[in-house]
Structures are given as structure tokens and as C-alpha cells.
């Protein structure tokens, strides 16, 4: 298993229509286990963690009850904002002490990719449920270990694929399942951005790889979700065009094609060298649909040309509503003994596909 200490990490880089398709949270969700909300310890206090915590504040069934950080001053400031007591602030050395804190039911892992496996496993061994950011980890072996340890500890593991809980993405999937597009033939998807020098994502030990792990995984997961199938064939290419020092350890661009058992073809691209507004477009025998900003946290817009109708459905929801839906779902599962919609096995399947993409593109994992 690849592990990395926080010290090493620090050195390396210290609409009404949309609402109809939102995940429905039943009234009993607000009846929390033992009469209280599901308490989360946040592991890693970076940008994504801030958005998740703001989302938790909007829920009826979740709360922030612990923080884990290597920077006590930052943790103290955030603790005051969310009402976390000093005794529920941990660092990376005493993290395992959360086992003694009954206010913490679950953890949210918002660390660099290569640290996901270690802290998921440590949390599971402490008896805490785990909501882990994507990508799940950086290897198939780590994914297997995370799933096995959570099952052994009888705790739930969910991977934070926001699209599974976001109304516009759910609307697209439902249109396909209802047959509005007829027989799906092909899918196109892309997502990328021009990464700044010095980002931890450019360090292979931290990130596991380049843009495929970071943002391309959205395209991969979307194609799997839209088809409801697993790819039977994958062919990929990778390139590095900008020789400015940013890509000494990870690739700059990856494109890949997938063929699914039904015959559906998918073409995807991801980049750290160009801004590519995330989208997917699905072509079927009865028309097409496209979601622009499909993987963003606001500004999603579904358009479709179908035999039966023309659709134009912007989604006005804004950050951090995606994180609210994500937290509400996982807390509901924790409180009611249910399996999350995006369990560890879902993350494992993406890791298996990424492994195939890298091998096809000739990239050493």
C-alpha cells in the first residue's frame, strides 16, 4: 500500500424542474440514530473539505463533530466556526484516538489521493464509517484493501461521486433508462484545466497519476453510469506537449475509447494543459442529450433533441448543494443500515478501468 506522512505532504507543497429529480430524503431521515445527527470528522482541511462542511451545515441529519489536521491554528479557527470542541481536534499522529470519541460516527477523507487508503483503513479500524473523496485511491490493491477492512469492521464505505446525488445528472440517466433516446449508440465526454505549477497533483507520489485520476475519472464514471454497463474493451493514448517542468512526473493529456457489451461506444478526453468545460453528450436512435458543466458544482445545463420533445433545462442549484445531497445520503444510510448508492465497489471498478487505460496508453502506474 502506498502511504505518505503529512510531514512529507507538507514539504511537497504545503429551477423547480431540477428539484423534481433531486434525491428524496424521507421524513424519517431526520429521526437520527440515538436522537442525534450523524457526526463527521473531517480529515484534511483543504478546499474540498471546506465545501463539504458548508454542505453539511445545510443538512438536517449531519453535523461536523471532529477535525483532523496537521495545522492546529487552522483547525482551531475552523473548529470555532463549526462548534467543534477542542477535545475533538486531532492530528495525524493521534488520529486513531477517534475510536474513543462517541460524537464521531463517520469520517470524510479529503486528503491527497495516495493517503485515502491509509486513513480509510485506520478509520474503519476505529469503528467509524467512511465517506472518501474520489479517486478512491491510487491502485486496485488499495481499493480492495479499503473494501475488505470496512467490511471486516462492519462500517459503511461510500465514494464521493457527487453525480450520483445531483439532479441534472440523475435526470440524464433517467431519460436514458426511460427510453427517451431510444437505443444509445455513442457517448462523448471531456474535462480538463490548465494546471498551475507547484500543485500537489503534479507529484506522482501524492496524486497517483495525472488528470485521469483527478478530473478524467468524472468522464469515466459518467460513461459507466449512463450506460449501466462495464466496458469490455479499452484503448487509450497519452501525451505531454508542454515541456515546462510541470509534467516531469505525470502525463499532461489522456484520451481513451471504451466499447461496452451492448455495443455502445464512448470517447473521452482529459487534460492538465487546457481548459475543457466538463460535459457529456449521448447519441441515441431517437435523438441526443448533452449536459454542459456536467461535473461542476454549479451551472449545469441539460439540453436534448428528441423525437418527442426538445429540452432546455438549466439547473440553478449552487455550491454547496451537491455536498449537502451527498452528506444527507450517507448519513441516511448510516442511520438506517442501508448501502450507499456509490459504495467502495463503485470506486474499485473505476480503479480497474484506470489501470486498463494506463496500461493501454503505456503509462507506468
What lies within 8 Å, CB to CB, of 163 at 6+ separation is: 169, 218, 221, 222, 225, 294, 295
Q: Are 138 and 163 in contact (CB under 8 A)?
A: no
- Give the pairing type, strands 287-292 and 301-306: antiparallel
**Three cell numbers at 194?**
490548465
Q: Note if 272 is an active site residue.
A: no
Query: Strands across the sheet with 233-239, in order?
Result: 233-239, 253-259, 265-271, 184-194, 273-284, 287-292, 301-306, 310-314
Q: Which of 90, 218, 279, 358 is catalytic?
A: 218
Q: Which of 236, 336, 344 is nearest to 32 (CA)?
A: 336
Q: Note if 74 is an active site residue.
A: no
Separation CA 333–CA 340 (nearest Å): 6
User: b/e for 324-356, b at 16 or more Cβ within 10 A?
Assistant: bbbbbbbbbbbbeeeebbbbbebbbbbbebbeb
Torsion, Cα 114 147 169 53, to 10 degrees, reads: -60
Position of cell 438549466? Answer: 314
Q: Which of 37, 134, 204, 281 is catalytic?
A: 134
Catalytic positions are 134, 218
Amino acid at each position: 500500500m502506498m502511504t505518505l506522512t503529512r510531514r512529507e505532504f507538507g514539504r511537497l507543497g504545503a429551477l423547480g424542474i431540477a428539484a423534481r429529480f433531486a434525491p428524496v430524503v424521507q421524513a424519517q431521515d431526520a429521526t437520527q440514530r440515538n436522537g442525534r445527527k450523524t457526526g463527521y470528522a473531517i480529515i484534511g482541511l483543504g478546499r474540498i473539505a471546506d465545501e463539504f462542511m458548508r454542505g453539511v451545515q445545510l443538512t438536517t441529519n449531519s453535523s461536523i463533530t471532529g477535525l483532523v489536521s496537521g495545522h492546529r491554528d487552522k483547525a482551531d479557527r475552523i473548529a470555532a466556526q463549526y462548534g467543534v470542541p477542542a477535545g475533538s481536534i486531532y492530528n495525524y499522529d493521534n488520529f486513531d484516538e477517534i475510536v474513543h470519541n462517541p460524537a464521531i460516527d463517520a469520517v470524510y477523507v479529503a486528503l491527497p489521493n495516495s493517503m485515502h487508503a491509509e486513513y480509510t483503513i485506520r478509520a474503519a479500524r476505529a469503528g467509524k464509517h467512511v465517506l472518501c473523496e474520489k479517486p478512491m485511491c491510487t491502485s486496485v490493491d488499495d481499493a480492495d484493501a479499503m473494501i475488505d477492512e470496512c467490511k471486516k469492521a462492519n462500517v459503511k464505505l461510500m465514494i464521493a461521486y457527487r453525480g450520483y446525488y445531483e439532479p441534472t445528472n440523475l435526470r440524464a440517466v433517467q431519460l436514458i433508462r426511460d427510453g427517451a433516446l431510444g437505443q444509445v449508440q455513442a457517448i462523448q465526454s471531456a474535462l480538463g484545466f490548465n494546471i498551475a505549477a507547484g500543485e500537489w497533483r503534479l507529484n506522482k507520489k501524492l496524486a497517483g497519476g495525472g488528470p485521469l485520476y483527478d478530473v478524467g475519472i468524472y468522464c469515466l464514471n459518467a460513461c459507466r453510469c449512463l450506460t449501466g454497463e462495464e466496458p469490455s474493451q479499452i484503448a487509450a493514448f497519452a501525451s505531454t506537449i508542454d515541456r515546462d517542468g510541470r509534467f516531469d512526473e505525470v502525463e499532461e493529456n489522456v484520451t481513451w475509447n471504451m466499447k461496452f457489451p451492448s455495443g455502445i461506444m464512448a470517447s473521452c478526453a482529459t487534460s492538465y494543459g487546457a481548459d475543457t468545460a466538463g460535459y457529456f453528450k449521448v447519441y441515441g436512435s431517437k435523438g441526443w442529450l448533452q449536459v454542459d458543466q456536467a461535473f461542476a458544482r454549479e451551472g449545469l445545463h441539460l439540453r436534448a433533441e428528441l423525437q418527442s420533445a426538445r429540452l432546455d433545462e438549466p439547473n440553478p442549484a449552487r455550491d454547496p448543494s451537491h455536498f449537502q445531497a451527498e452528506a444527507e445520503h450517507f448519513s441516511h444510510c448510516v442511520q438506517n443500515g442501508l448501502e450507499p448508492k456509490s459504495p467502495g465497489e463503485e470506486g474499485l471498478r473505476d480503479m480497474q478501468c484506470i489501470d486498463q487505460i494506463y496500461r493501454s496508453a503505456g503509462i507506468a502506474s
